[in-house]
Structure 1
């Protein structure tokens, strides 16, 4: 009798994990819905100078890129934390995050949307949105 109990428990655990994975996959939003939620989260947390860039057809890294500024390292880290928490709670999305500890430049990769959060000075220094403007070659100022 014990053998049958032991043999069904792993199967039940596998089945439960499979159902949970299917539920998470079903609740994953479209790339546009995800972009809209990211933009609303940034607005809720008072991110500044928010720019969205449509990458579809330009690169395979993502469909959209969002660039925003926080007033301080603490605000940048806070915006990143709240955004990743919201995406996890609402859609089951586990984002890859880099730079949250320093808060100068935080990169959040959700798969379909890549989010860059900067302190003002760091954003000004790197000017990454210029890399994606039509007709601008990296290293040129666009003039």
Structure 2
């Protein structure tokens, strides 16, 4: 658990990672953010999270958006260590989705690989370089409850 009750997900600790303070809203609860190994994740989310974890993505987070947004049901956020790592993570997720029969996902940001967005319909995946993830802090944006907005 982070300082404010949020849960950062990774089956493997990042080497040399320092604990960081989270500015996430108290509206984020363990029910909203699920562990990567949590058996309650639907199959599509499990596929994506396992692929990211296998490729050593850092700080994998799943945010349940059901009832909060019509954009997606689940937001998956992860970090890569470099531009090349972010690009490889995105490519491997796309390949896993295609092999599992989830069609052609919409992708933005692959040439620059600072922030890659993969839209699989009900699931949206954001893969960031750590500095970019800290700057945009989308965990905080999407974790706000309507009363906090």
Q: TM-score, normalised by structure 1?
A: 0.71
- Corresponding residue for residue 70 of structure 2: 60
User: Residue 134 of structure 1: CA displacement?
Assistant: 3.5
State the number of aligned residues: 107
Name structure 1 gaps, 5 residues minimum: 1-30, 138-143
1-side partners of 2:143 and 2:69: how far apart?
13
Matched, 1:41 2:51: yes
Given the superposition, is the C-alpha separation of residues 92 and 134 from structure 1 closer, same or farther in structure 2, using an over 3 Å criterion?
closer
TM-score (structure 2 length as normaliser): 0.68
Which structure shows the higher helix fraction? 1
CA distance in 2, matches of 1:50, 1:84: 17
RMSD: 1.4
Higher relative contact order (CA 8 A, sep 6+): 2
1:114 matched to 2:124? The reply is yes
Task: Name 2:94's counterpart in structure 1.
Answer: 84
1:93 positional shift? 2.0
Q: CA deviation at 1:112?
A: 1.3
Q: Which runs of 5+ in 2 are unaligned?
A: 1-40
**Max Rg structure:** 1
